[in-house]
Structures are given as structure tokens and as C-alpha cells.
């Protein structure tokens, strides 16, 4: 039996749950774009100690700007955890529900601190821009992880449907595969909803950051985003033009993502020993 089919059966074994003070200047701040790596993951035996240490660190941090940065730092760790957990062949959304929820809580707290300091008259424009940029990167990481998870669910769903098409209702595998299909179809649907809601979930926080940035920094950021989007589209068009007529040679980031998803499927099959 296909490994994706086995994965589908494994999906149905557990109930699912859905997620979800610096000087004033117009210069763009230097943003630390270092990739945050996950440490202990949700489900690990000592994971609670990691979270306890974070709470202790926050409790002894007095400076508001440092508190806001720490909230974003820990939010990015949750993002890394979500990304890492969803790479597992039998991962489900419920496995990252708490991590994603804590990510959203941390971002909300950081935004609240920035908003409070701005209302007190503090100049938080550069800080707001820094945090907003990091939030953009975090959302993109989550988006990619969810898309790959949605794809893996879709592949498993297709495999199960194909297998069911070859079986009669009386077949001993039919009932189990039908239940697996229902579960994995729900997983795919829930993942799509998470993707659809991703930007909306952070709307309020990003509005706080943009307001705190001020009109000039905010406009500058939007201009940079538009320029980057145009550049990325141009590069993608150039890369896609390298596809040969027979479809045998394709270059580009989209293909890298596809290859990565295929490898995930292969690892899924290897882990299930099929």
C-alpha cells in the first residue's frame, strides 16, 4: 500500500484542532535577519522548561524597548518550531497549535508595548519598523510551512482516493481508508483556512507598527516592498523562461520548493517502512 495512504491513516488516529527609544530619523534601520533556529519542540519532554525560562527572562526585563524585542524574539522561536514540526511526515496542525497561538500572543504584546510607548510620547519609529520587518519574515516562514503541509495532505488525499477507487465496499480496507480520507481532507481544508487567515490574524498588530513608524518610514517600507515584488516577479519570469519545451529542465525557487515537498513525501514513506 502506498506510503501516502498509510500517512493518511495515521492522520486520522488523533483528533484534529485548528490553529490560530531611539532618535527620530528617516534612515532605514539595519535589521537583523538572522534565521532563528528552533531548540526544543512542542511535545519534547523538557519543552516546558524552555517556556518557563522565557517567562522568567521577561519578568526580569524592565526596559520597554527590550521587552518588545524579547517578545518578538520569542515569537520568532515559535515560528521556527512550527516550521520544524510541520516538516515531520505525520505532522498535524494540532501539533503546532500552541506554538502558533503563543507566536500571536507575543506579537500582540510587542505591538501593545510599542503603542503604549508612542502614546507616552516616546520616539518608537525605528523600533516599530524593525519589529514590523521581522513580523513580515515570520509570516512568510509560516506561509511556506503551511503550503508545504497543505501539499503533503493533498498528495496523501489523492493517493487514498485512487486506492479507494480500486476497492469494493466489502473490502476489509475500505472502511479504514474512508475514515482516513475524511481526516486528511479535513486537515487539508483546515490548513487552507490557516493560510487564508494568516494576514488577517496580524492586521491589528501591523497597523500599530505602521502607525508608530510614522508616515515617512511607512511609505518608504511600502515602496521597498513594491520594488522587491517587481524584482522577484522579474526574476521568476526569467527563471520560468528556462523551462525547456519537453518540461524536462526547470530552474527556480518554485521548483526547489516542489523538490523539497517530494523529498518530504519520500521521507514519509521511508519512516512508515512501506
Query: What digits encode the pLDDT tens for the residues 154-205?
Result: 999 999 999 999 999 999 999 999 999 999 999 999 999 999 999 888 888 9
Q: Is the pLDDT of residue 209 over 50?
A: yes
**Mean pLDDT across the stretch 136-160?**
94
- How would you classify residue 220: left for phi > 0, otherwise alpha for psi between -120 and 50, otherwise beta? alpha
Please say whether the beta carbons of 180 and 162 come within 8 A. no
Question: Nearest Cα to 127, choosing from 207, 220, 65?
Answer: 65
Helix (H) or strand (E) holding 95: none
| pLDDT computed for residue 142 by the predictor | 96
Question: Nearest Cα to 128, choosing from 36, 210, 16, 21?
Answer: 210
* DSSP structural state of residue 27: S
Please say whether the beta carbons of 11 and 183 come within 8 A. yes
| pLDDT computed for residue 271 by the predictor | 54
**Mean pLDDT across the stretch 23-34?**
40
Q: Is the pLDDT of residue 111 over 80?
A: yes
How many CB atoms neighbour CB 116 within 10 A? 14
Chain segment 37-93, per-residue pLDDT in tens: 556 888 888 888 999 999 999 999 999 999 999 999 999 999 999 999 999 988 999
Q: Which residues contact 152 (CB under 8 A, 6 or more apart)?
A: 7, 89, 261, 264, 265, 268
In 60-124, where does DSSP find H-type helix?
Answer: 64-85, 97-119
Q: Who has greater pLDDT, 201 or 274?
A: 201
Please tell me whether the overall predicted TM-score, pTM, comes out greater than 0.85 for this model.
no
Chain segment 216-268, per-residue pLDDT in tens: 888 888 788 788 778 877 887 777 666 554 454 545 555 556 566 655 655 55
Angle ∠(51,52,53) on CA atoms, nearest 5: 90
Q: How far apart are the first and last CA of the chain?
A: 7
Residues in the chain: 274
Amino acid at each position: 500500500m502506498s506510503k501516502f495512504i498509510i500517512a493518511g491513516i495515521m492522520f486520522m488516529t488523533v483528533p484534529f484542532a485548528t490553529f490560530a527609544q531611539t532618535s527620530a530619523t528617516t534612515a532605514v534601520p539595519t535589521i537583523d535577519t538572522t534565521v532563528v533556529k528552533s531548540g526544543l519542540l512542542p511535545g519534547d519532554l523538557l519543552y516546558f522548561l524552555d517556556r518557563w525560562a522565557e517567562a522568567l527572562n521577561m519578568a526580569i526585563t524592565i526596559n520597554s524597548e527590550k521587552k518588545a524585542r524579547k517578545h518578538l524574539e520569542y515569537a520568532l522561536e515559535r515560528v521556527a518550531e512550527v516550521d520544524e514540526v510541520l516538516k515531520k511526515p505525520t505532522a498535524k496542525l494540532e501539533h503546532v497549535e500552541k506554538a502558533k497561538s503563543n507566536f500571536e500572543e507575543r506579537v500582540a504584546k510587542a505591538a501593545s508595548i510599542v503603542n503604549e510607548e508612542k502614546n507616552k510620547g516616546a520616539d518608537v519609529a525605528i523600533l516599530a519598523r524593525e519589529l514590523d520587518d521581522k513580523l513580515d519574515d515570520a509570516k512568510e516562514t509560516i506561509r511556506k510551512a503551511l503550503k508545504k503541509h497543505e501539499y503533503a495532505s493533498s498528495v496523501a488525499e489523492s493517493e487514498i482516493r485512487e486506492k479507494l477507487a480500486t476497492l469494493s465496499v466489502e473490502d476489509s480496507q475500505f472502511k479504514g481508508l474512508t475514515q482516513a480520507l475524511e481526516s486528511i481532507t479535513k486537515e487539508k481544508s483546515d490548513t487552507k483556512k490557516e493560510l487564508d487567515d494568516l494576514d488577517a490574524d496580524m492586521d491589528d498588530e501591523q497597523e500599530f507598527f505602521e502607525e508608530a513608524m510614522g508616515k515617512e518610514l511607512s511609505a518608504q517600507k511600502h515602496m521597498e516592498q513594491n520594488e522587491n515584488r517587481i524584482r522577484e516577479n522579474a526574476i521568476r519570469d526569467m527563471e520560468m523562461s528556462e523551462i525547456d519545451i519537453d518540461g524536462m529542465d526547470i530552474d527556480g525557487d518554485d521548483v526547489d520548493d516542489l523538490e523539497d515537498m517530494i523529498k518530504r513525501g519520500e521521507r514519509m514513506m521511508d519512516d512508515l517502512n512501506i
